[in-house]
Structure 1
């Protein structure tokens, strides 16, 4: 289905230790995390809060385990801070990624984001910021400029639509994609966030498969999403209560997703990103479950 010379499997450290809630998995060390990733059969990962800040130290630890960095999350604030500051921060992140051999960066606009607020409902109450026309122009122009900086260095800027942020819905994703340059801005396609937002992840993939630069495989437990809606949970409360899980353990149908990506000749990372409470969902066990599911459904 996929060409293993061009499609690679990774997993995010967020199943071991949560960046937004460091107390979740606070006991799990960097060494244990990357060792268990490799043991489960993955060859790549993204960067978490326990990872060494020295790229040489990080690369050595990953090389020992046959692992490499696929990408990293980057919080942009294009709506709320001067572009010069944004550009400087972005370039520093590219420098780090280049030093560890990565060529993707996942950008999420965090101005006015409620994703990290424990007590603000994510599905109800209209708390999510909705951009006006001037803000849309600021965001898209900024993404184009950052994307060109990335492209000039051999990177793909992959924009991460995300619950609780200014680009959450299919309509917002459509507008962002329509107003950014396809040479410079790609999509970090996330099955879970489109599902959580009440959108059709397969329809969105079919629409933008030629601009997908990075893939997050995230499964959803829809009964928990319904609980989140009913009980006015925040994004973080939904995570704590198990809204997300690894592929094959929830309600997302991944087979058509894999088919659309394979038929389009997708090249890059398929990265399992399933934030759960490690005390409830043993990270190694769930990583192995995800790896087995992907092997059985893609041949990778």
Structure 2
């Protein structure tokens, strides 16, 4: 029987939202870990409630036989030098490396508006090709530093940031070196105006980490037409878990399988737990992805057509 060497993990955002603590902020970390392990997840990405020291982190995760998948890093290379960023990342990079993670989620937060009550169209943008090139050069050098410590930089294109749209991703991948990996987020690339499968196939050989979130197309349309902020969009249900929206996950996972992707598939779906109960939706996302991971290898070379 053919199998596919991927693991399914989850981000604690299904239980508690670091950007908007009113969404599940009162939920203990132990609740998320216990429920995630019970559902079947193999690991967790980190969040604010996790220990910041490796032995303590391993103990907390080990209690539920969970792996440390990765952890978000708030980068500011737009304004910082490579040397300044290397100093800033040191403790986080060491925590990931010592905890067995092989990728680091890099989110550029300089000038980003993802946490602010401002419409998404007011996000920052590079104005010249030279600005793009300068940023890409710094990112490549920083990514090489991370890789020298055994952790690959996984760049998170994100709503409200400098790299949001498919065109932004194209630019970044064209101008950076191969040490810069791409975190492919199905929800953000769709919200950002792209067709997820098309962008995935274009950059498949740079993808080192995958965030699996679905989108509700009607809510995304309202968000765009109504000039909502990112957090307004989240609160109103723009995102959900895989299988609960408009994204073609069978085709996406089939392409990842055909192209030899062997990393993590991480359920990361920002929602209000009061509206979308954490356990119910985390299980829904896991069950859906686990079924696809079981079925797609059996379809072999025709997986793309038949799964879709």
Report 1:38-117 matches (<5 A): 38-117=37-116
Moved over 3 A (4+): 1-4
CA distance in 2, matches of 1:102, 1:291: 21
1:168: which partner in 2?
164
CA distance in 2, matches of 1:153, 1:185: 14
1:121 aligned to which of 97, 119, 139: 119
* 1:286 maps to 2:281: yes
1:11: which partner in 2?
10
* 8 A Cα contact 1:115 1:234, kept in partner: yes
CA distance in 2, matches of 1:213, 1:199: 19
CA distance in 1, matches of 2:170, 2:102: 25
Name the SS of the counterpart of 2:210 in structure 1. Answer: strand
1:223: which partner in 2?
218
Instruction: Give me the CA root mean square deviation.
Output: 1.4
User: How far has the Cα of 1:2 moved from its partner?
Assistant: 7.6
2:260: which partner in 1?
265
1:177: which partner in 2?
173
Relative to the length of structure 1, the TM-score reads 0.94
* 1:159 maps to 2:158: no
* 8 A Cα contact 2:82 2:141, kept in partner: no
Structure 2 unmatched runs, 5+: 296-308
1:237: which partner in 2?
232
* 8 A Cα contact 2:3 2:294, kept in partner: no
* 1:276 maps to 2:276: no
* 8 A Cα contact 2:187 2:212, kept in partner: yes
Aligned length: 294
**Structure 1 or 2: more helix by fraction:** 2
Structure 1 unmatched runs, 5+: none
| 1:60-119 deviation per Cα after TM superposition (whole angstroms, max 9, x unaligned) | 1111211011111111111112332211112321101012111100112111111111x2
| 1:225-266 deviation per Cα after TM superposition (whole angstroms, max 9, x unaligned) | 111123221000000111110000111110110110000010
User: How far has the Cα of 1:150 moved from its partner?
Assistant: 1.6
* 8 A Cα contact 2:82 2:142, kept in partner: no
* 8 A Cα contact 1:104 1:155, kept in partner: yes
Name the SS of the counterpart of 1:237 in structure 2. Answer: helix
* 1:144 maps to 2:143: no
CA distance in 1, matches of 2:95, 2:259: 31
